[in-house]
Amino acid sequence: MFFAIFKIVNKKTCVGSEKIMALKNNDKFKEKLKHFWRRGDEVVCTRVFRNSNNECYFCGNTPIEWHHVLLNTISNQIIDVEFSCVILMKKMMEEIGSSQKILFFPKYTIEVDHLNNQYQGTADIIEFICNIDIIRRLISNPKDLSYKQVRSILDYTIKFEGGTEEEEIFHAALDLYLDRKYYVYEMIDDHKKTNNVKRDIENYFREEWEKYKYQDDKYYPESCTLKKKNDDCPF
């Protein structure tokens, strides 16, 4: 059984490699890329799914086994592309001189890893793009949002007037900002910050708690103060 699975996976990889070699100098492919993407445009994969009779935008292959629905966030054009053509698209973007990657929502981390294992630097997880459809998708999964994403959403949506969808998204992001105490993180000196925002906030409260306990012990006799326990620490 293991041999059979290996054979299938190996065959799939070889077919993809052969297709890339065959299409690399295909002017039709390059022309289609030109119609969909221009240097500087951000491309986001909004959906990944298996098996349908759709036709790949680039190579025309049908049926597609692994669909990658790509959105140009500038033109809002959407195309359906199979796995190997996502890699080929990235390679052609590099030939033009662009280092841009195909961006994915956090829930597609496995797909990003798979693409990068086939060709390093093809894909990455999206941080933030000034596109209301993308922002709406990001805020709809708050557990996946990082501090930088929440901060970027706030900075972008604060400029819109009341009664708009952007204002609703602003308040949703503000609730996350306050609930996660990101305002505390922004008060921390840069040299004390690490790559872990949550831990930095906890360390800040821990240090403040230690200062509070030290001041009471210093200025008041032990008999005049209640014994403070670490369980009383407010974090």
* H or E element in which residue 31 lies: helix 27-36
Given a cut of 70, is residue 170 above it in pLDDT? yes
Q: CA dihedral defined by 122, 150, 131, 138, rounded to 10 degrees?
A: 70
pLDDT digits (tens, 9 = 90+) for 86-124: 999 999 999 989 999 999 998 899 999 999 999 999 999
Q: Does 188 or 11 have the greater pLDDT score?
A: 188
- Can the peptide bond before residue 63 be classed as cis, meaning omega within 30 degrees of 0? yes
Q: Residue 195 — pLDDT band, cuts 50, 70, 90? A: confident
pLDDT at 196 over 60: yes
Average pLDDT of span 122-134? 90
Q: What is the mean pLDDT of the chain?
A: 83
Name which residue leads in pLDDT, 224 or 95.
95
The confidence band for 51, taking pLDDT boundaries of 50, 70 and 90, is confident
Average pLDDT over every residue of 55-75? 92
Q: Where are the domains of the chain?
A: 1-126, 190-232
Backbone angles phi, psi at 69, to 5 degrees: -85, 115
pLDDT, greater one: 20 or 85: 85
| pLDDT > 60? residue 11 | no
Find the mean pLDDT for residues 157-174: 89
Helical packing angle, 83-96 and 27-36, nearest 10°: 80
Distance CA 130, CA 200 (A): 28
Of the listed ranges 69-73, 148-152, 161-165, the one predicted with least confidence:
161-165
18 or 194: which leads in pLDDT? 194
Residue 4 pLDDT > 50? no
**What's the alpha-carbon Rg for the chain, to the nearest Å?**
25
